[in-house]
């Protein structure tokens, strides 16, 4: 496997192999299951991730048939995000199982998702989370703030869920100071400038603060625009990102470089030496 000088690893061949050590502080362009299967057991301290939501059947805002895709579905380029409910749930179980396999017993998985409502019936991500090998430790509510109700057929939802999962129910790394955030996090959504569904920096930053110490390894198998990677880098953790869309890998890489530059100027301003 080759790393380009931009630190992007490409996956041109199915046979490409990745080792965790060569993937550290890098973004791998490829399918997360194929890549993670090559990482060893018990090697990652924290997974922070948000998968595509498969919400293509949500007709909430559909006015005309031809507007269906435009209005309701997020496109991730190569990832169509359009599966049957059963296929999607099975895929998510496979991914969670792979995340928990590579997780250290002291580690944590932070999985951002939300209920889907179709034909008036809500389904919860817990339905597949509980079928995975993960231990369900807690749920945090991410309050995204106010929103205009365009078609108010129910209480308009302004929240998403942050599921805190693990390999073990006890003995995981935990910074008690982070308890101050409580279990409802009011954080405004990100601007969506460079990615249609990036989460705000504060979401991964709080999780990294709560569940890791400096030097720990943070993995985001749905890296998107690299928000988790940027937070990890700025907080002096090692990181591994996996993203299937090459365009987004480029954004990740730019974000991680930006983090470097910002860090440099911050540290310079404090009279400290920049990191080598």
Place of tokens 């199982």: 97
Residue 50 as a binder of ligand SAM (CB under 6 A): the answer is yes
Q: How far is CA 35 from CA 1, 68, 125, 198, 246, in A?
A: 12, 34, 24, 22, 15
Among positions 207-226, residues that touch ligand SAM (CB under 6 A) are: 222, 224-225
CB of 195 to ligand SAM, least distance (A): 4
Query: Could you write out the DSSP letters of every residue in 207-242?
Result: HHHHH--TT-EEEETT-TT-HHHHHHHHTT-EEEEE
For position 96 contacting ligand SAM by CB under 6 A, the verdict is no
Among 102, 244, 256, 259, binds ligand SAM (CB under 6 A): 244
Task: Return the residue nearest ligand SAM (CB atom).
Answer: 224
What DSSP designation does 195 have? S
Q: Is 23 in the site for ligand SAM (CB under 6 A)?
A: no
Taking the complex as a whole, how short is the minimal distance between the CB of residue 153 and ligand SAM, in angstroms?
25
Q: Which of 106, 248, 250, 253 binds ligand SAM (CB under 6 A)?
A: 248
Q: Is 174 left (phi over 0), alpha (psi -120 to 50) or beta?
A: beta
121-180 residues in contact with ligand SAM (CB under 6 A) are: none
Smallest distance from the beta carbon of 51 to ligand SAM, in angstroms?
A: 6
Integer Cα distance of 45 and 105 in angstroms: 9
Interface stretch with ligand SAM, choices 54-62, 178-186, 237-245, 256-264 (CB under 6 A): 237-245
Residue placing its CB nearer to ligand SAM in the complex, 60 or 82 = 82
On the CB side of 181, CA atoms within 13 Å amount to 22
Q: Is 247 helix (H, G, I), strand (E, B) or coil?
A: helix
Determine the Cα–Cα distance for residues 58 and 54; give it in Å rounded to an integer: 9
Pick from 107, 105, 183, 99: nearest CA to 133: 99
- Distance in angstroms (rounded) separating the CA atoms of residues 88 and 92: 6
- Under rule CB under 6 A, how many of the chain's residues touch ligand SAM? 20
Find the shortest distance in angstroms from Cβ 96 to ligand SAM.
Answer: 13
| Region near ligand SAM per CB under 6 A, out of 48-56, 147-155, 181-189, 211-219 | 48-56
Restricted to residues 182-201, the positions that interact with ligand SAM (CB under 6 A) are 195, 197-199
| Interface residue list for ligand SAM (CB under 6 A) | 31-32, 50-52, 76, 79, 195, 197-199, 222, 224-225, 227, 242-245, 248
């Amino acid at each position: 496997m080759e790393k380009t000088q931009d630190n992007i690893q490409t996956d041109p061949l199915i046979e490409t192999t990745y080792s965790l050590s060569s993937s550290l502080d890098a973004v791998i362009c490829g399918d997360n299951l194929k890549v993670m299967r090559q990482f060893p057991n018990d090697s990652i301290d924290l997974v922070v991730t948000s998968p595509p939501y498969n919400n293509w059947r949500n007709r909430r805002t559909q006015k005309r048939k031809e507007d269906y895709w435009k209005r309701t579905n997020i496109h991730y380029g190569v990832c169509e995000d359009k599966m049957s409910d059963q296929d999607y749930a099975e895929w998510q179980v496979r991914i969670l199982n792979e995340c928990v396999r590579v997780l250290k017993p002291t580690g944590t998985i932070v999985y951002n998702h939300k209920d889907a409502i179709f034909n008036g019936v809500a389904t919860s991500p817990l339905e597949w989370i509980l079928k995975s090998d993960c231990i369900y430790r807690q749920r945090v509510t991410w309050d995204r703030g106010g929103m205009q109700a365009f078609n108010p057929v129910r209480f308009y939802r302004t929240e998403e869920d942050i599921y805190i999962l693990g390999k073990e129910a006890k003995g995981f790394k935990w910074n008690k100071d982070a308890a101050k955030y409580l279990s409802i996090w009011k954080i405004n959504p990100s601007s969506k400038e460079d990615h249609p569904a990036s989460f705000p920096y504060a979401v991964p930053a709080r999780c990294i603060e709560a569940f890791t110490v400096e030097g720990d390894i943070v993995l985001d198998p749905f890296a998107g625009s690299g928000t988790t990677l940027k937070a990890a880098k700025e907080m002096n953790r090692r990181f591994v990102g996996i993203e299937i869309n090459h365009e987004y890998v480029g954004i990740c890489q730019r974000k991680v470089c930006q983090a470097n530059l910002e860090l440099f100027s911050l540290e310079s301003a404090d009279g400290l030496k920049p990191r080598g």
